[in-house]
Structure 1
């Protein structure tokens, strides 16, 4: 059990993270540098093959010179008690095969970005005279940032050459195997180009182009079967990407990219608009014209050559003609026979010529496929094939570039005689749409109109407005009058969502005056009520409706309860008063009255009758109003009176005393 062991006293094996035909891969800890690494450990059964071990070590050591951000770094190549292993950079992620299975079909932008990284890495390796020989998604790791890193440079070749007879040895790679490798030839940089083309096809479609029940069946397809078109699986695929796949996977290596760097330069511009509808790549017909066999071993190839040589040497002997007899026979031919032969020959030739002209006049030719090429090039091609150009019709097209052929009538592939007429349908590009002024119109109506017109995206943004009606458009990102292609255009519309909502404050601690100011400033309809409270100070807010944090609009109602403080019990307060009598003083002090009394009363009396004074008392408390007479009586002398006030904490008492209609005293009484 290798888990837990330490190789070379340095690499502590933690767990298995992968396995292959010749090795297992483990997560390990480099106890010296204190970092996680990946350790690829050769299987024990493979370690007994001396040639394989030498190739394993030699080619692994060779790849240590590859310093590239998209190549997995190799830190060490070592052996510990017949355990041959390679120490590599640990990538915490998944391989490209798992990534494709998880996310296929991949967005084309991601496909191009990853392929540029992979091609850059392979190009660097080729520059160091190292051919990968086993490019496949399983040998491409994807890190946490989505970057691609190539692994297993050259190691797969060691297994392929040494253990070709082992069961299923080529199963993992045969789907990506180049035709020259499948027929037993030597791998070249163009073999890597082929594998990259197969992998690009899989990244775009999520499936492999060739599959079968056995490795041999798949290899035969690599040799014989035409490469499937990307457009059969992804109808709207840019022609540029289809061309790249077709060129990279040409059966004959001469028709492929000359270098990986050339393929990289081509894919770097694949998504440019000018290349979306470029002319299809036309591989030379010889690439698929012959049925090919799959001679995997050298002996098989020799047997095929021997078969061909045998056919050439087993010729049938031709009879020998007696020249003397022939000469005598010729002399016997008379002159009349010669003329007969000449006439017959002439008639035969005339018949052949006539038949030829008749045949050629009736012969039909297939209409060439001129779609997606320029009008000028299409006309030249059709006229070269002997056809006449009929009428041309211009049409909008979302798929065919302006000035290029949409279709022909009759269509491509139909059989016509030379001189027949073919009508052309020319693209005038995508249908354009004239932008209107949408301001003041209803947002829902305009959005529906634009979506029906085929806009790529219609974004709507609400904005507050005190002046514009709710749901009316306030602005647009594209001005009126511009003509655009809806499917390529995003338009942004802003519309009124009404006045800005006001987030209601927490009015705790406000007094009635400050609450009124707040309501006035924000346009709220305020109502206040008073309640006793033993928790909130008198005059401050007890509660509010709606609660704090509510979004409010102008004109909405705001109700506030104000504290009257702690409620005090009702009680009676007595006030004792003395009302002075002033009647006698008034009479004694008037000498006129005394003279009158003396003259009118002859019999002077010792005692005089006192004049009464009318007293009225007004009182205010919880049960009396100050406007009502509380008590009314007359006095002839000083008079004591007790006034009882029924009061509570919020009621103030008051009284007024009048004597003969004249106010002689008033005061207030407060709750204590």
Structure 2
């Protein structure tokens, strides 16, 4: 079934920012989606925790704290965390999208890896873990599922801190234990204690699996596997795969020591040992790939193949052509009859053979004197640590130059070499590797509270320009001050980027024209203004606002004086129909049974509910927006007034 059609999040806008495009993967704790960050216009991976975890307050608190810690970790081999948030029942992480496969996928497809390839995977993994350990972070769940191999060859570690967040829950998670027990250190199993050396242990188990194609303890119940981690010593790879290099046996044995005190102190220490092992590893140290795991080694049961015959024709002429039979060797065996050659012909052949011997010797000597080495083109684009190792193996003395920013080359990869690829140099020559510092980004400075000119000047200092200025009413921010930036303050953007400013418009003058004096006074004072009233003598409606200054929607400051012009307030207002009834000798308001309706009092009610209530009472409704807060602040005629059906009632909201 197409998951795109059945997953409720696909096609939705998560947290008002991430448009979910498709589902990438689903695991025991979370589902990963491909999404578009519409704010920054970039593709991201969004990991949404399963609802059973998201409903646990302890998990959510720990999850938010760990996400903040991991977001501060910047390393080319760590999947970068951009954002964390909640949207209803969804607790999510926004992360760097790395197209490729997990290391688990590679192991399923290929089985074990050759020794050099295994180390070339482990070195960037250990570099990522080492950077985390230096920052005080522990992964706690190192395994092939959490190692991503990008399509461009990069190695990335993911899910830092997630295991720690899950430890905060009170739920029983047997499935999680089954999935990770094969990599748990003895102290994790017995006491739940973890530190950098626990990650080192898991990395050692993973190296064992890369070399042998299997975990040291598998195919049993989770509890029995845990018991063996605590009580057994992890076997070295050569015990499972004869011929595995001793250097790697030593690495695995050191990393998986049962006592944490006997392991490398952190992943950086193990990284140094792994890089040294890679440098010393012979290129022919890979066991023969045709030997199946667990099968007897080929040379243990079969005689070695004889070496291929060497052709000496050009470097060792036949003895009988040079000297004939040696004395004391007896009569030579009868030979097949052959044409007789003259003495001149025989000496010609002897001379030719001697010349050929000399030519071969001189050629070999010349080749032996050509010891120059060539700068390889394969260094560019490779991780700086791996490139340094390769260049040193070829005979260069490597220096690392100052990293340079680049929009395309990932941080920590070789951007260029000096001298350039293809250049010949003598062994021991200096080779400078220039690493990429990644794309150059600047943080949006804090311009909140500044005026618009001040904000523009501050942004220009960091090579950011203003694209659009939007105004927004505010009761708390003085008019003309910057309320926020888009993207927000602190976000990283390219140099010469254009951002938007949101500037306070202060308070917007409400429209109180036509409103009774008392209600207009209450509305304006409640909004933070100081009303002043001036009466006029001629108006159709007494004591109502017929003009105002400033005009509606004008931008003004809190406490500003508002001048209102009123109709004359002397006397009592009578509606036209009441005056008609008085002229005919009837009492105002009519007699019992007259066809009138009583206007309901709808002040302070929701404007939609007020509108419906007035219509239900039999009057027409005219609505005027003033403060825009959704509640009715005034009405005319007032509530309780008897009026004929169909009378127009004005409400302000």
Rg bigger for which structure? 1
TM range (shorter): 0.3 to 0.5
Greater strand content: 1
TM-score, normalised via structure 2 length: 0.43
